[in-house]
Chains A and B, each alone.
Chain A
């Protein structure tokens, strides 16, 4: 149980949101990306419905390019929660051999955006929990807790429903769906402080350790498996690194750090001068790129 009034307020708000969706949606699902935000969201869901098991499945939209440590934790966390885990890999992307080395932005579009849409359509989910926070990016900062998507999964930022008090209007037409963000009002620092306080298991990659790396365009990349294509003359160098966000390993930048405990990570967070999304190469394509992705159906 959180001790501080700040965390009591955040936790109670998230639990309230999780329960509202389960009470009003027909087929909810939780997007589980295995990152730190997903870990907190799953933890809160288990609290919200205790002693019952959260009454919805977990969905992992897999790109086949996640870190190996992520796959290991994913299966363990789902089993521990007693929740069904659905893993969806876009068959078209698989067939076409889409990968982050050859296909650039198409990699994210096909594996993640299209993959997500396929999974939601295939299972008929009408509400999907996501771990996004408003402090991540400017267009996220404008998004409601309940974010409505058309039957084609598009987001219209100019037609968002007013969202008053603790009242969430979850009604939607057949085919339409809702993306729900229970962590909207959490900050990155909140997430880490809560993980430490509640002893939530996270992927070890968030903690610093010596790992094989290469540096490209100023970004430190980890050589997680043999698929990593080394350039001519490029050799992996061991560096003490950790990650602030986790995605497809060839697209996720690390930071050099000696913070090998949660306490050290929290301490580091409090003096950091860069935002976490700096490590995500996909968000820096162009000004407004996140808004564009969301309009197209990205989480």
Chain B
């Protein structure tokens, strides 16, 4: 029923500004204004969007009062809640709006907000989830909890006090969590006589502080939670203010989070659904991109490839699923895939790493112990982790960085984290779900830190990354391998190139970085000026040897397939390469076998005297006396020989095995 051409026809004027279309039918079956007569029973809830926002401010900025006032004036309170409010206030002086949201006994006793309170209300356009977060520094962790799921932040400032240290801290945390939409609510305007110049001074000061934090979408509103001025209703006392009231703004601000629908597909696997032998599905929430049946995917971190066969839901298979949808994918192949893996677009799969640079917000009373074993939960994967001493700690009030040996409660620091296995990930700035993680204490099971990945660290960088010189070891470590030169030698037609090609394919398949030098890519270019005289043959091998050395210095596993008949030339190359990295592979076959095979017809030409200096006919071949590897093509297939060579290379010689 749904076709792509309908998507452009999604109604623009119905107030339904969707964050992303989760399902194919979304845009087409949502009724627009002209359709209103045929609305479903739940029509009034159907077209609404949802905005999640937090409120933050210093102690006594009047945050809870403001929310209470907004709920009250917006008609979002039930009569019995209002009655309870009046009963609790117990005075005729006015309603205690704060008691509406400070729900814990300890909070009411102390008159402060300790934990995040979630409140729900709706207007004709929107449903709202408000997370009222504590202002006190001691409860930063609770503020971070509230901010992590918010689309927008309302930052309160007391008009009498202006921008305070806490305002800076809240703004920095909000920026760190990635909220870009800010409302600067200058509260208690009634107490400064609704003075426009004071308001403007505070706004100017705030903009200076917000700019470096990339909080560019700041809307400033002068208001009073106590009197209700500019909260829901406009205030006569501030006729100089022409902008929206707080609720008007919240009702209309576009909810544009990062548009995950257009980025590459990602779905962390939560649970493998296997009710019987005939069904195996991978349940998860799509966190980026769009998927269709038939799309090629890779299971990360293994990289195994398959295709999506079906997108299963209880409401029927879908033709398409987009970021935000909870679905079950069936893949076309029986690939190994389990909880913690990420199913990703094959053409643009997730990065994989076991070391990260990250920003940590420390949430526990007990400080970080560098080097100690923690657990990281990232997406749906949990892995063992250890944290290096912080590179620096950020002063959340000023933004300055200073050195520290550890992280204490509410500290924010830049750290490096090493995992006990590689995980698929994204930078937090690109994807919250695959870039945000928590750190868990293995003993208490407490969530001790919130982390945001800034990037992967490569092996070479993790130990001495400031001081390291980029040498051949560094290059090799970066590739996770040891350089090798596999020097294939033997008669023409012995099978050197065939075996070398097989070896290179096998190395490539297991992620090793290699390069094959053979007559075709050398004789036609670098060495096209050389002939086949003994001197030219020596020069040919010398140049090939030098190229092999450069490539080995670059960290590669180099395969060379040349007849290289003279022992002295081969030994000269061996001398160029660091001890142990040169492996001579003698591909041995009898002259009669090689001549009988004669795939290129060269032996026949040589016998007819058409080729001078042909090895084995008119020029000698000096067999290696002690090759590292010997292959007898009369007893071993090329495939078996290649397998044996690969085992030798990665099994014995690789530094990481």
Residue numbers of A with Cβ under 8 A of B are 1, 3-12, 15-16, 19-20, 22-23, 46-53, 134-135, 137-142, 157-158, 160-167, 169, 171-173, 184-185, 187, 189-190, 193-194, 196-197, 262-263, 266, 270, 272-275, 278, 287-288, 291
CB distance from B176 to the nearest CB of A (A): 12
Shortest Cβ distance from B79 into A: residue:
A273
CB distance from B102 to the nearest CB of A (A): 8
CB distance from B450 to the nearest CB of A (A): 5
Q: How many residues of B contact A (CB 8 A)?
A: 84
Identify which of residues 300-351 in chain B touch chain A, using a CB-to-CB cut-off of 8 Å. 312-316, 324-326, 328, 339
B118–A141 CB distance below 8 A: yes
A51–B45 CB distance below 8 A: no
Shortest Cβ distance from B437 into A: residue:
A167
| B103 on interface, CB distance cutoff 8 Å | yes
A164–B45 CB distance below 8 A: no
Which 6 pairs show the lowest CB-CB distances between chains A and B?
A138-B103, A50-B314, A52-B275, A15-B326, A171-B445, A1-B315
B49–A5 CB distance below 8 A: yes
- At the interface, is chain B mostly helix, strand, loop or mixed? mixed
Residue-by-residue, is B408-444 near A (CB-CB < 8 Å gives 1, otherwise 0)? 0000000000000000000000001100111010000
B120–A48 CB distance below 8 A: no
- Stretch of B166-174, B201-209, B266-274, B477-485 that contacts chain A: B266-274
Q: A7 is contacted by which of B46, B100, B104, B142 (Cβ under 8 Å)?
A: B46
B81–A275 CB distance below 8 A: yes
Shortest Cβ distance from B325 into A: residue:
A12
A19–B270 CB distance below 8 A: yes
Given contacts A4-B30, A50-B312, A169-B438, whether A141 and B119 have CB atoms under 8 Å apart is: yes
In the assembled complex, which residues on chain B have CB atoms less than 8 Å from the CB atom of A19?
Answer: 270-271, 283-284, 326
| B105 on interface, CB distance cutoff 8 Å | yes
| B60 on interface, CB distance cutoff 8 Å | no
| B447 on interface, CB distance cutoff 8 Å | yes
CB distance from A66 to the nearest CB of B (A): 24
B324–A161 CB distance below 8 A: no
Identify which of residues 81-137 in chain B touch chain A, using a CB-to-CB cut-off of 8 Å. 81, 84, 88, 100-106, 108, 114-120, 122, 127, 129
Could you list 17 examples of A-B contacts with CB < 8 Å? A4-B42, A4-B45, A4-B46, A10-B50, A15-B326, A46-B314, A47-B313, A50-B314, A165-B432, A165-B433, A167-B377, A169-B445, A185-B120, A187-B122, A193-B42, A266-B41, A275-B80
- Stretch of B16-24, B498-506, B544-552 that contacts chain A: B16-24
A142–B117 CB distance below 8 A: yes
CB distance from B144 to the nearest CB of A (A): 7
Q: B120 is contacted by which of A134, A137, A167, A197 (Cβ under 8 Å)?
A: A134
B446–A161 CB distance below 8 A: yes
A-B contact sample (8 more), CB < 8 A, given A138-B117, A167-B377? A6-B45, A8-B22, A12-B324, A16-B285, A140-B103, A167-B438, A189-B45, A275-B80
Using a Cβ cutoff of 8 Å, how many contacts connect chains A and B? 210
In the assembled complex, which residues on chain B have CB atoms less than 8 Å from the CB atom of A141?
Answer: 101, 103, 117-119
In the assembled complex, which residues on chain B have CB atoms less than 8 Å from the CB atom of A263?
Answer: 41
- Most chain A CB neighbours (cut-off 10 Å) among B42, B114, B377: B42
CB distance from B328 to the nearest CB of A (A): 7
| B486 on interface, CB distance cutoff 8 Å | no
Shortest Cβ distance from A19 into B: residue:
B270
Give the docked Cα–Cα distance between A6 and B116 (Å). Answer: 22
| B613 on interface, CB distance cutoff 8 Å | no
B436–A8 CB distance below 8 A: no
A4–B48 CB distance below 8 A: yes
Give the docked Cα–Cα distance between A19 and B380 (Å). Answer: 11
Give the docked Cα–Cα distance between A6 and B46 (Å). Answer: 7
Shortest Cβ distance from A141 into B: residue:
B117
| B240 on interface, CB distance cutoff 8 Å | no
CB distance from B272 to the nearest CB of A (A): 9
B26–A157 CB distance below 8 A: no
Given contacts A142-B103, A275-B78, whether A270 and B44 have CB atoms under 8 Å apart is: yes
A172–B445 CB distance below 8 A: yes
Give the docked Cα–Cα distance between A157 and B88 (Å). Answer: 21
A197–B141 CB distance below 8 A: no
In the assembled complex, which residues on chain A have CB atoms less than 8 Å from the CB atom of B385?
Answer: none
B114–A23 CB distance below 8 A: no
Q: B78 is contacted by which of A1, A53, A274 (Cβ under 8 Å)?
A: A274
In the assembled complex, which residues on chain B have CB atoms less than 8 Å from the CB atom of A184?
Answer: 118
A165–B324 CB distance below 8 A: no
In the assembled complex, which residues on chain B have CB atoms less than 8 Å from the CB atom of A142?
Answer: 103-104, 115-118
CB distance from A23 to the nearest CB of B (A): 5
B42–A197 CB distance below 8 A: yes
In the assembled complex, which residues on chain B have CB atoms less than 8 Å from the CB atom of A273?
Answer: 78-79
CB distance from A78 to the nearest CB of B (A): 18
Give the docked Cα–Cα distance between A198 and B440 (Å). Answer: 39
Shortest Cβ distance from B41 into A: residue:
A263
B118–A51 CB distance below 8 A: no
| B391 on interface, CB distance cutoff 8 Å | no
B118–A189 CB distance below 8 A: no
Give the docked Cα–Cα distance between A273 and B83 (Å). Answer: 11
Given contacts A3-B30, A50-B313, whether A16 and B48 have CB atoms under 8 Å apart is: no
Q: B285 is contacted by which of A4, A12, A138, A262 (Cβ under 8 Å)?
A: A12
Identify which of residues 129-173 in chain B touch chain A, using a CB-to-CB cut-off of 8 Å. 129, 141-142, 144-145, 148-149
CB distance from A136 to the nearest CB of B (A): 10
A1–B25 CB distance below 8 A: yes
CB distance from B452 to the nearest CB of A (A): 10
In the assembled complex, which residues on chain A have CB atoms less than 8 Å from the CB atom of B119?
Answer: 135, 141
B120–A187 CB distance below 8 A: yes
In the assembled complex, which residues on chain B have CB atoms less than 8 Å from the CB atom of A52?
Answer: 273-275
Give the docked Cα–Cα distance between A8 and B26 (Å). Answer: 9
CB distance from A11 to the nearest CB of B (A): 7
A49–B273 CB distance below 8 A: yes
A185–B129 CB distance below 8 A: yes
Give the docked Cα–Cα distance between A278 and B450 (Å). Answer: 39
A162–B41 CB distance below 8 A: no
Give the docked Cα–Cα distance between A158 and B325 (Å). Answer: 33
In the assembled complex, which residues on chain A have CB atoms less than 8 Å from the CB atom of B47?
Answer: 4
| B363 on interface, CB distance cutoff 8 Å | yes
In the assembled complex, which residues on chain A have CB atoms less than 8 Å from the CB atom of B464?
Answer: none
In the assembled complex, which residues on chain B have CB atoms less than 8 Å from the CB atom of A23?
Answer: 270-271, 339, 380
In the assembled complex, which residues on chain A have CB atoms less than 8 Å from the CB atom of B273?
Answer: 49, 51-52
| B637 on interface, CB distance cutoff 8 Å | no
B105–A288 CB distance below 8 A: yes
CB distance from B118 to the nearest CB of A (A): 5
In the assembled complex, which residues on chain A have CB atoms less than 8 Å from the CB atom of B104?
Answer: 138-139, 142, 157-158, 291
Give the docked Cα–Cα distance between A10 and B129 (Å). Answer: 12
Give the docked Cα–Cα distance between A51 and B312 (Å). Answer: 8
B275–A53 CB distance below 8 A: yes
- Most chain A CB neighbours (cut-off 10 Å) among B41, B50, B325: B41
Given contacts A8-B26, A134-B120, A169-B440, whether A161 and B44 have CB atoms under 8 Å apart is: no
Shortest Cβ distance from A173 into B: residue:
B445
CB distance from B469 to the nearest CB of A (A): 40
B114–A158 CB distance below 8 A: yes
Identify which of residues 442-473 in chain B touch chain A, using a CB-to-CB cut-off of 8 Å. 445-447, 450
A274–B120 CB distance below 8 A: no
Shortest Cβ distance from B100 into A: residue:
A138
Shortest Cβ distance from A279 into B: residue:
B80
Given contacts A6-B50, A16-B285, A288-B105, whether A167 and B436 have CB atoms under 8 Å apart is: yes
Give the docked Cα–Cα distance between A280 and B46 (Å). Answer: 29
In the assembled complex, which residues on chain A have CB atoms less than 8 Å from the CB atom of B18?
Answer: 5
